[in-house]
Amino acid sequence: MTDHEVDVLAIGAGPANLALAVALEESGARRLAENTVLLEQHPDVKWQRNLLLPWARSQVSFLKDLVTLRNPRSRFSFLNFLYEGGRLNEFVNLSTFNPYRWELSEYQQWVAHSLEQVRVRHDARCERVEPRRTTDGRLVGWTVTLSNGDTVDCRDLVIGTGRDPHVPAVFRDLPADRVIHSTQYCTRIAQQPTDRPIRPVVVGGAQSAAEMFMAVHSDLPQSTPTMVMRSIGLQNYQTSKFVNELFFPSFVDEFYNSDVEVRGRILDEVHLTNYAGLAPPFLDELYSMLYQQRMLGKERSTIRSMTEVAAARMDGDEVVLELRDLKSGKVEPLRCDVVLLGTGYEQQMPALVQDLADRLGIADIEVSRRYRLDLGESAWGAVYLQGVNEATHGISDTLISVLAHRSQDIVDDILDRRHVAAGAFPESRTA
């Protein structure tokens, strides 16, 4: 057991907490930045590591990187990453605002290596978070226990792990080696046989499902893929420039200050800007692939729309999916070898956050405008939640569009609290 103590501990070294690290380094609060640590469960920093397909692109502009919309002069910008890597001219020559996903992943790794004050600790998986109190019960911080038994004490905690993967109940009784969620794709698909025919079924009708459907054609060259979706067909994201103004950082204030009913109405209206759709260029590529198969008489792929999986079971060495046609109600079996789930993420708070709320006796998880969890009591330590506040901060909260400004909001709140509470709570080494 190793005991550590820091001032700010951020769980996850994805884009949300990397943007926070940059904002801390650029805040001028050097002592605070030097006593901040990001925990990363993997040995390196990668963005969407299991969907780093060579042809997959970001759906948002590279200008919405970790810092540019907050500080266009920052040395941590995507353009400076390209410049320092000697590849700026080549990228400019692409004439695109949408880099490849692997390129943004490399950029985030570069940012992690470029930090001079904030530290990133790799191979550090968080198992649980517990409140830390004084002898008279006042909350002064948090103890985070890692999977290797280490503990880290901190005053302020920032949770930026994203939501938990959603595995529909109908698939939960299948053997684990027969079900691959999109968050596992690259790692798990590499374990599938490539020297014999295989029948993968992709479930879902949005971007991640379509990307897996496209990818298996080359990753499993002898496969005959089937795609199953409830919708009438694959469709574009809503990309109107007017609607995209809802992703401006300034809209967060307007959304947060709206009534609950108005927030719900807005989220319903803009659902197709982020969910249940595909990026238009990729949709064209996918359709072209299927068109060529039909016209050349080499059809190996099937898309079954308006169809849901009613049940799933094993029959010997085969997976059997009971498919219900939503037009006729007819149910028929589909035999396959592996199921790929493009079913997104759980809507409720991540298990780590919910577990902490239970330890604190918090029934309703609510955050302030600056993303601080309402603890229900006066406390020296705070918890900030990143990327899980769509209901209160708008649909952009789960995306990279507002990362730069959100990180500044959190840093401002951390610094303001230290100014107001200077010399307040005792009995904490951090304090």
pLDDT digit string, tens, across residues 365-387? 999 999 999 998 889 999 999 99
Identify the pLDDT of residue 378. Answer: 85
Domains contained in the chain, CATH given: 3-164+346-420 (3.50.50.60), 169-237+275-341 (3.50.50.60)
Identify the pLDDT of residue 175. Answer: 97
d(CA 261, CA 55): 40
Whether the model clears a pTM of 0.85, i.e. scores above it, the answer is yes
d(CA 39, CA 42): 9
Return the top range by mean pLDDT from 272-276, 347-351, 383-387. Answer: 383-387
Q: Which of 418, 403, 344, 419 is CA-nearest to residue 371? A: 403
pLDDT surpassing 80 at residue 13:
yes
Identify the pLDDT of residue 238. Answer: 79
Greatest extent of the chain over all pairs of C-alpha atoms, in Å: 77
- Token pair, residue 298, equals 């080499």
pLDDT band at 427 (very low <50, low <70, confident <90, very high): very low
For the packed helices 207-219 and 280-296, what is the interaxial angle rounded to 10 degrees? 40
pLDDT surpassing 70 at residue 428:
no
Average pLDDT over residues 237-257: 88
pLDDT digit string, tens, across residues 325-339? 999 999 999 999 999
- Residue 159: beta bridge partners? 11, 385
Question: Which residue is listed with tokens 């948090």?
Answer: 142
- Residue 295, CB half-sphere, CA atoms under 13 Å: how many? 6
pLDDT surpassing 90 at residue 278:
no
d(CA 72, CA 63): 9
Average pLDDT over residues 94-106: 96
Identify the pLDDT of residue 228. Answer: 98
pLDDT band at 421 (very low <50, low <70, confident <90, very high): low
DSSP state of 141: E
**258: number of Cβ within 10 Å:** 15
DSSP state of 401: T
Average pLDDT over residues 21-37: 97
Share of the chain residues as helix, strand and coil, in percent rounded to the nearest 5? 35, 20, 40
- What are the residues whose beta carbons fall under 8 Å from the beta carbon of 325, sequence distance 6 or more? 306, 307, 331, 332
Q: Which of 40, 43, 65 is CA-nearest to residue 118? A: 40
pLDDT band at 94 (very low <50, low <70, confident <90, very high): very high
d(CA 369, CA 407): 12
Q: Find the radius of gyration of the CA atoms of the chain.
A: 23
* Averaged pLDDT of the chain: 93
d(CA 304, CA 327): 12
Q: Which of 383, 418, 389 is CA-nearest to residue 406? A: 389
pLDDT surpassing 70 at residue 426:
no
pLDDT surpassing 90 at residue 260:
yes
d(CA 107, CA 85): 10
